[in-house]
Amino acid sequence: MSARPPRTITVEALARVEGEGGLSVKIRKGQVTTVALNIFEPPRFFEAFLRGRAFTEAPDLTARICGICPVAYQMSSVHAMESLCGATVGGALRGLRRLLYCGEWIESHALHVALLHAPDFLGYESALHMAKDHPGVVTDALRLKKAGNALVALVGGREIHPVNVKVGGFWRLPPPEALRALVPSLEEARELAQGLLRLVATFPFPEFDRDLPLVALRHPDEYPMNEGQIVSTSGLDIPVSAYENHFFEEHVPRSNALHSTMKGQGHYLVGPLARYSLNFDRLPPPVQDAARAAGLGTTCRNPFKSIVVRAVETLYACDEALRLIARYEPPPSPSVPVAPVAGSGCAATEAPRGLLYHRYRLDGEGLIRQAKIVPPTSQNQKAIEEDLAGFAAAHLDYDTKALTLLCEQVVRNYDPCISCATHVVTVDRDDR
Amino acid sequence: MARGKAAKPKLAVWKFASCDGCQLSILDCEDELLALADAVQIANFPEASRAVAPGPYDLSLVEGSITTPHDAERIHEIRRSSKLLVTIGACATSGGLQALRNFADVETWIPAVYASPDAIQTLRTSTPIANHVRVDFELPGCPVSKEQLLGALAAILQGRRPVLPTHSVCLDCKRRGIVCVAVAAGLPCLGPVTLTGCGALCPSYGRGCFGCFGPVRSPASQALVPVLEAAGLTDPDLVRLYRTFNAAAEPFRKASEAHERPPA
């Protein structure tokens, strides 16, 4: 075969992702020579300005890292503070937190599955273009998303940057009748999620299984959201407090985000594929059946099929929300008291995009002296780049336009949140 | 280029330093999104669409603050290609939470944070869009109110200037019959000095207002201090209270600086 001209696949500004990033894939002499997911989202230095803030402010301040998944930041921060201060939030308050997280999973997954990711498979520039030919798909997805947002708005106060979450619980308990009033919309959402799952199961998926270790939380009896051990397909099974003994971050010059690696393993994946593959047995049988009917096995390692896994998780979150509402008994108080303690504490929860780790060190007055936040997208960044290299190398016969679109799709498979990845930076220095 | 039906107004959405939440508010208008997409040509909205049409644009919505040399240039290009420029949210209208750097020496933050500091391009300050270019209208809030956003879009599409309420959160509590959290529960509350837009959301959830929508036009920030002190707040508490999502808005900046201890 004659030598092909060198070319570079470049996307200056990735569309249908949260935040600002681009990609480039250089191809020379029929070989992929370099790939990069470039993150040019400006840094916002959260971990630096959190120093000196009160421990009670962490949920409101860290929520602003991401407008798409503020609940995840609120949940990881309050659990880290409670762990540090020796407080336990259980019973109905724990259930309400899980309910709030269900709302975020529904709205975030519905947004990504139908409005950001599905247009790749159906061949449209956007969901708005797609709506002209597939109006039902888009209107159903918007109704599904709205049901998730209504849940976040009721339990959290508003959809974006909820105000009702506090260290120790909530400011106000949602009235039981208001929760029950959401049941019809959640029942409809469950139907819509089933429909969405059936639809995305029909999409064509390239064969592209990845053999990276998958990392997620695992809870003794539930599909993981707010707590559990950190487990991996490579045999890791550690408490969250041991996270930093096994995972490291490094700064690469082309990126305003930090990359993560696992000790002895290198790159790894967090997110829906990891959660599903490590926790299939924690899904209720009807959801397992729906996943099987959609063509999934008990594990899934093809990032292109993450859209199917997200649809399964959306269905699960609707089911789980209905279950939590049905058994809700208002607790005696909206929160438990939490007194600050000097020391360090951490927590990890499952954001829609994967494991979100927070660690804080407090002084005796309850002021934050050090903060470390590791979002899912910075953990997945190396895997995304490897996918780009592997997938481009396997499709060099495509013309540049087609290959560019495929490379974009490789990135969108991860639902990357570039706002999260870049706004979070490690501060290893004490200011006192 | 075929213009088809009478040309629809061209809408562009731009992002600077921000969390994406305010532009997500557009996609969160689940009941109105398709009607909006029908009323305008969405010419640039990367979070929602790959399709990009060149300017000029009839209306640009700008999210985020200016924090890098590149962005300080880019906003001028956007202004030049936009008939109307409307900022959405606290970052774009006051500098946002990241304006906390304005009170610190950000140069000391970068090496503390990144292993390769030379690769990080950042300004010492986070500033609102209006500090750089002419802004036709500002929507406050962290995040913006969906209702205010839709109301402003509807007004602009009809050729009217949007109108926003100018009263305080405090007044909303009185209107809604919400028991005062400051008086009854002794909670610190910025409601008397904060612009409405949320409908007194936090007091309705039993907590004090923390200033998401920024200062009202003539806030009595100092007059509020004795009330806040009566709620048990010390000087450092007052600094933190005024220094969140609208920390660099002039009245809140002055209020926080008035209670800052001089560096030792």
> What was the ipTM of the complex prediction?
0.94
CB-nearest partner of B205 from A54, A115, A164: A164
A357 φ, ψ (degrees, to nearest 5): -105, 135
A32 φ, ψ (degrees, to nearest 5): -80, 120
B118 versus B86: which is more confidently predicted? B86
Where are any strands of DSSP class E within A53-208?
A: 165-166, 169-170
Q: Which pLDDT score is estimated for A41?
A: 75
Q: Kindly state whether A137 is in contact with chain B, defined as any CB-CB distance less than 8 angstroms.
A: no
Alpha-carbon gap: B50 to the closest alpha carbon of chain A (Å): 5
* The residue to which tokens 């036709």 are assigned: B136
Q: Which residue of A has its CA nearest to B99?
A: A44
Give A61's contacts in chain B (Cβ within 8 Å).
Answer: 97, 244
Q: Which residues 174-233 of A are in CB contact (within 8 Å) with B?
A: none
pTM: 0.95
Q: Which residues 155-214 of B are in CB contact (within 8 Å) with A?
A: 198, 201-202, 205-207, 210, 212
Instruction: Please state, rounded to an integer, the average pLDDT across all residues of chain B.
Output: 92
Tokens of A107: 């709205």
Q: Distance (Å, rounded) from C-alpha B188 to C-alpha A54?
A: 14
Alpha-carbon gap: A397 to the closest alpha carbon of chain B (Å): 23
Tens of pLDDT, residue by residue, chain A (432 residues): 445 788 898 888 889 998 888 888 999 988 898 888 877 777 788 989 999 999 999 999 999 999 999 999 999 999 999 999 999 999 999 999 999 999 999 999 999 999 999 999 999 999 999 999 999 999 999 999 999 999 999 999 999 999 999 999 999 999 999 999 999 999 999 999 999 999 999 999 999 998 999 999 999 999 999 999 999 999 999 999 999 999 987 766 666 666 788 988 888 999 999 999 999 999 999 999 999 999 999 999 999 999 999 999 999 999 999 999 999 999 999 999 999 999 999 999 999 999 999 999 999 999 999 999 999 988 998 899 899 999 999 999 999 999 999 999 999 999 988 877 764 443 332 332
Asked if A219 contacts A239 with a C-beta cutoff of 8 angstroms, the reply is no
Q: Kindly state whether A146 is in contact with chain B, defined as any CB-CB distance less than 8 angstroms.
A: yes
Q: Which residue of A has its CA nearest to B37?
A: A128
Q: Which of B15, B19, B139 to mutate to test the interface with A (most CBs of A within 10 A)?
A: B19
Q: Which residues 390-409 of A are in CB contact (within 8 Å) with B?
A: 408
Interchain pair B67, A423: CB under 8 A: no
CB-nearest partner of B21 from A160, A163, A423: A160
Comparing CA positions, the residue from A345, A416, A379, A356 lying closest to residue A101 is A356
Q: Which residues 270-309 of A are in CB contact (within 8 Å) with B?
A: none
Q: Which of B52, B107, B113, B213 to mutate to test the interface with A (most CBs of A within 10 A)?
A: B113
Interchain pair B47, A16: CB under 8 A: yes
Give A129's contacts in chain B (Cβ within 8 Å).
Answer: 49, 51
Interchain pair B50, A126: CB under 8 A: yes
Omega cis (within 30) before B143? yes
Q: Which residue of A has its CA nearest to B17?
A: A42
* DSSP conformation class of A117: I
Q: Kindly state whether A253 is in contact with chain B, defined as any CB-CB distance less than 8 angstroms.
A: yes
Asked if A168 contacts A336 with a C-beta cutoff of 8 angstroms, the reply is yes
Interchain pair B30, A145: CB under 8 A: yes
% pLDDT > 70, chain B: 92
Give the 3-state secondary structure of residue B16.
coil
* DSSP conformation class of A303: G
List the Cα angle A219/A241/A63 in 5-degree steps: 80
Helices (H) and strands (E) in chain A, counts: 16, 13
Q: Distance (Å, rounded) from C-alpha B132 to C-alpha B161?
A: 22
pLDDT above 90 for B114:
no
Q: Chain centroid to CA A335: how far?
A: 26
Q: Which residues 223-252 of A are in CB contact (within 8 Å) with B?
A: 250-252
Q: Which pLDDT score is estimated for B117?
A: 52
Alpha-carbon gap: A276 to the closest alpha carbon of chain B (Å): 27
Mean pLDDT of all residues in B200-225:
94
Q: Distance (Å, rounded) from C-alpha B211 to C-alpha B202?
A: 10
Please report how the helices B221-230 and B235-242 are oriented relative to each other, as an axis angle in degrees rounded to 10.
Answer: 130
Say which amino acid occupies A210.
Answer: R
Mean pLDDT of all residues in B74-82:
98
Alpha-carbon gap: B34 to the closest alpha carbon of chain A (Å): 7
Alpha-carbon gap: A298 to the closest alpha carbon of chain B (Å): 32
Q: Kindly state whether B244 is in contact with chain A, defined as any CB-CB distance less than 8 angstroms.
A: yes
pLDDT above 70 for B4:
no
Q: Which of B8, B38, B50, B94 to mutate to test the interface with A (most CBs of A within 10 A)?
A: B50
Strand-strand pairing, A343-351 and A354-362: antiparallel
CB-nearest partner of B245 from A64, A171, A250: A64
Q: Kindly state whether B114 is in contact with chain A, defined as any CB-CB distance less than 8 angstroms.
A: yes
Q: Which pLDDT score is estimated for A429?
A: 29
Q: Which pLDDT score is estimated for B112?
A: 56
CB-nearest partner of A158 from B30, B104, B201: B201
Interchain pair B212, A161: CB under 8 A: yes
CB-nearest partner of A47 from B19, B49, B113: B113
Please report how the helices A183-201 and A306-326 are oriented relative to each other, as an axis angle in degrees rounded to 10.
Answer: 160
Mean pLDDT of all residues in B81-95:
98
Where are any strands of DSSP class E within chain B?
A: 10-15, 41-44, 57-63, 82-88, 137-139
Q: Distance (Å, rounded) from C-alpha B238 to C-alpha A168?
A: 23
